[in-house]
Every structure is written in structure tokens, then in C-alpha cells.
């Protein structure tokens, strides 16, 4: 019996599939409190079903309205549970979207508009970020980089000739947020580097939004270099909406291309049938990797959301949840991206 017991103890534990996903979801509304009302009235049921069907163990939503008590996020979690998939752990921080600066940042002669906020927003908390997890989130150990001033980023591209000293003193880098979030998975830790960058458009010849988007993406390499606090130890995953495609569309595409080529990361290059079916012939990038369905022909479909595990992790699958035959009423402009890793 002793020999049998010893032999059984020597058998290694079976590996577990861990699905990590992100979605720039249609969960933002035009006013505070509207999202929770819509969830309660069934007006977010399509998104709720899609989240349940995704069956992600860790899900970052990058376009969901924030409220201080997480009422909307809790209501969403409960509705997803009723559809068959349960998240026991929720996390969100106030985003920069809608936070007033008191300045006329877009120089149109009017103050207090959405484009004058730290990140575009008609109200504080519009289109923020939220994390839903089936594994515990080490909230006490979260590092929030969302308050980092743009001018203070290593190698900042901030156009100082456009933003005067008053703006330089208060304007943050993050359009929505940059979080470093430890998640406990089977007594080990996976660190998420979560973000939602602003679009690199809607500006002028100064390219303030394009430059900011580039620095929002490049920040993660500074973090991995240890130039912004202590570098996270592997395993980690960069996750969220970069709002930038390495091949097509506006913006400084070389910045996301550089991140994808970083040897500390791996790009599983998730693909889906919808992007392939709706390909833009004039685009250079692989259409199956697109996860955003923008107006044709310009800018057309783009790859904007990413899940980039650290190089030490073993990827076993990936995809874009963009079905080829999705009914128009079920379709969002953006589609979930998922990556399975062996844990």
C-alpha cells in the first residue's frame, strides 16, 4: 500500500486551461445610471449572452460605464450568471474618462466638453474598464498608473508646442486607465497589464491624440523595462484595447508593431471567421485577425484589442468571437478576443 501511495503522489497534476479575454463591449451609455437601467430592462441582453458564451476565466471589459459602488458591474455579473457563467470576483477603478480639466484642450473656444476631459467622456466614468474573474484578484496589490502625467512618461511624445505649461501640469497619459493587477490562480500569480488607449484620431496637425495613443501603448515596455516602478515578474499578460492596428488605419502603427515583436511577449494572433468574411481588399493586414468593424472603406476593419501573454506561458488556443453570420442586431462594432493558456 505504501508503494502504491508513493506512486500516486508522483503523478503530476493535470494542466488547467485558463481563458483570458478582452472585449471593447457595447456597455457605455450617454448618461450616468443609464447602463444599470438598461441591464435591468433587458436592453443589454445581447452583450450578456455573448459574455456567457465566451466562457472566459478572466475578462477585461474596456467600454463599460463606471459607478463608485459597482452597481452596474454587479448587475451585469448577476445577469451573466443567469445565462450560465459565474464570476465571483469583480474589480474596477475610476477611469480618466470624463474627469474635467478646466481647460479648453481642443481649443474650440468652449470649456467643459467631452474632449476637454482627461479622457473623452460626457460624464465622469463613461466607458471605463472592468475586470471579471473566476479567480481571486489581489486588490490590495494593484498598481494604478492612470494618474501618471503624460509629460513624465519616459521618452514622452507630448506636443509641448500645443499643450502649454498649464496643460502639461495636469494632463494624464491614460485616456481611460493603465492597471497592473495580480490574479491568484491555483496558488500562483498571473499579473495583468490592463489598459484602454484613446483613439489616434479626432485631432489636428499637432497629432495630439495619435502621439498620446502611441505613448499609452509604449508605456508597457517602459514598465517591463523597470523604468516605471518595479517591473512585473512573469507570468504576465498585456490585455486591452490599444486602438491601433499594426498594418492599417490611422495612428503610429510602428508602436504596436514594436510591442508585438517584444521578445518578452508572444502574440497568439487570434483569428475569427467574421473578419475574414468582411475583409477589406485594400488592407495589408491579415483580415481574420481584425476584431473591430469600422465604417467601410475608411478606416475599415481593424485589429485593435489584444491579449499578449508573456513568453514563458504556453498558449493552447486563441480566437476572435466574430461569427461570420451574426445577425445585425447582435453585432457590436468590436468583438471579443480570447487566448487559452495552460496553467
| Cell reading at 31 | 448618461
pLDDT at 326 (0 to 100)? 59
pLDDT at 53 (0 to 100)? 97
Cβ–Cβ contacts within 10 Å for residue 211, how many? 21
Question: Beta strand 188-196 with 236-241: parallel, antiparallel or unpaired?
Answer: parallel
pLDDT at 9 (0 to 100)? 44
What domain range is 134 assigned to?
Answer: 16-342
Question: Beta strand 337-342 with 17-23: parallel, antiparallel or unpaired?
Answer: antiparallel
Q: What is the distance of C-alpha 209 from the center of its chain?
A: 18
pLDDT at 41 (0 to 100)? 97
Q: Rounded to whole angstroms, how far apart are CA atoms 59 and 52?
A: 11
In a domain, 6, yes or no: no
* Residue among 146, 144, 94 at smallest CA distance from 124: 94
In a domain, 5, yes or no: no
In a domain, 225, yes or no: yes
pLDDT at 327 (0 to 100)? 56
Whether the Cβ atoms of residue 190 and residue 205 lie closer than 8 Å to each other:
no
What's the number of domains the chain is made of? 1
Which CATH number goes with the domain that contains 98? 3.60.10.10
pLDDT at 14 (0 to 100)? 64
In a domain, 10, yes or no: no
In a domain, 3, yes or no: no
In a domain, 8, yes or no: no
In a domain, 11, yes or no: no
In a domain, 128, yes or no: yes
pLDDT at 242 (0 to 100)? 98
How does pLDDT run along the chain (343 residues), one tens digit per residue?
A: 333 333 344 444 567 899 999 999 999 999 999 999 999 999 999 999 999 999 999 999 999 999 999 999 999 999 999 999 999 999 999 999 999 999 999 999 999 999 999 999 999 999 999 999 999 999 999 999 999 999 999 999 999 999 999 999 999 999 999 999 999 999 999 999 999 999 999 999 999 999 999 999 999 999 999 999 999 999 999 999 999 999 999 999 999 999 999 999 999 999 999 999 999 999 999 999 999 999 888 999 999 999 999 999 999 999 999 998 755 544 458 999 999 999 9
Amino acid at each position: 500500500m505504501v508503494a502504491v501511495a508513493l506512486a500516486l503522489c508522483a503523478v503530476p497534476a493535470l494542466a488547467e486551461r485558463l481563458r483570458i479575454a478582452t472585449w471593447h463591449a457595447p456597455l457605455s451609455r450617454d448618461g450616468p445610471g443609464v447602463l444599470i437601467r438598461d441591464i435591468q430592462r433587458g436592453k443589454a441582453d445581447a452583450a450578456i449572452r455573448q459574455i456567457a458564451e465566451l466562457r472566459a476565466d478572466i475578462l477585461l471589459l474596456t467600454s463599460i460605464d463606471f459607478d463608485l459602488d459597482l452597481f452596474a458591474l454587479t448587475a451585469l455579473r448577476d445577469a451573466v450568471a443567469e445565462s450560465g457563467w459565474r464570476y465571483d470576483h469583480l474589480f474596477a477603478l475610476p477611469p480618466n474618462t470624463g474627469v474635467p480639466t478646466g481647460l479648453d484642450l481642443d481649443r474650440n473656444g468652449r470649456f467643459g466638453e467631452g474632449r476637454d476631459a482627461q479622457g473623452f467622456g460626457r460624464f465622469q466614468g463613461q466607458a471605463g474598464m472592468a475586470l471579471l474573474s473566476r479567480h481571486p484578484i489581489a486588490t490590495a496589490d494593484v498598481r494604478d498608473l492612470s494618474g501618471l502625467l503624460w509629460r513624465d512618461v519616459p521618452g514622452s511624445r507630448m506636443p509641448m508646442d500645443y499643450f502649454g505649461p498649464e496643460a502639461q501640469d495636469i494632463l494624464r497619459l491614460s485616456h481611460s486607465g493603465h492597471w497592473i493587477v495580480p490574479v491568484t490562480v491555483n496558488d500562483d500569480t498571473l499579473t495583468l497589464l490592463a489598459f484602454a488607449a484613446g483613439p489616434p484620431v479626432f485631432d489636428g496637425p499637432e497629432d495630439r491624440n495619435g502621439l498620446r495613443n502611441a505613448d499609452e501603448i509604449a508605456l508597457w515596455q517602459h514598465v517591463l523595462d523597470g523604468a516605471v516602478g518595479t517591473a512585473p515578474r512573469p507570468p504576465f499578460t498585456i490585455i486591452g484595447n490599444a486602438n491601433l492596428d499594426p498594418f492599417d488605419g490611422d495612428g503610429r502603427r510602428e508602436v504596436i508593431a514594436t510591442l508585438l515583436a517584444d521578445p518578452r511577449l508572444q502574440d497568439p494572433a487570434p483569428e475569427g471567421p467574421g473578419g475574414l468574411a468582411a475583409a477589406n481588399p485594400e488592407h495589408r493586414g491579415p483580415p481574420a485577425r481584425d476584431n473591430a468593424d469600422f465604417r467601410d472603406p475608411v478606416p475599415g476593419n481593424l485589429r485593435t484589442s489584444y491579449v499578449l501573454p508573456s513568453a514563458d506561458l504556453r498558449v493552447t488556443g486563441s480566437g476572435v468571437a466574430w461569427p461570420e453570420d451574426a445577425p445585425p442586431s447582435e453585432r457590436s462594432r468590436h468583438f471579443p478576443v480570447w487566448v487559452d493558456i495552460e496553467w
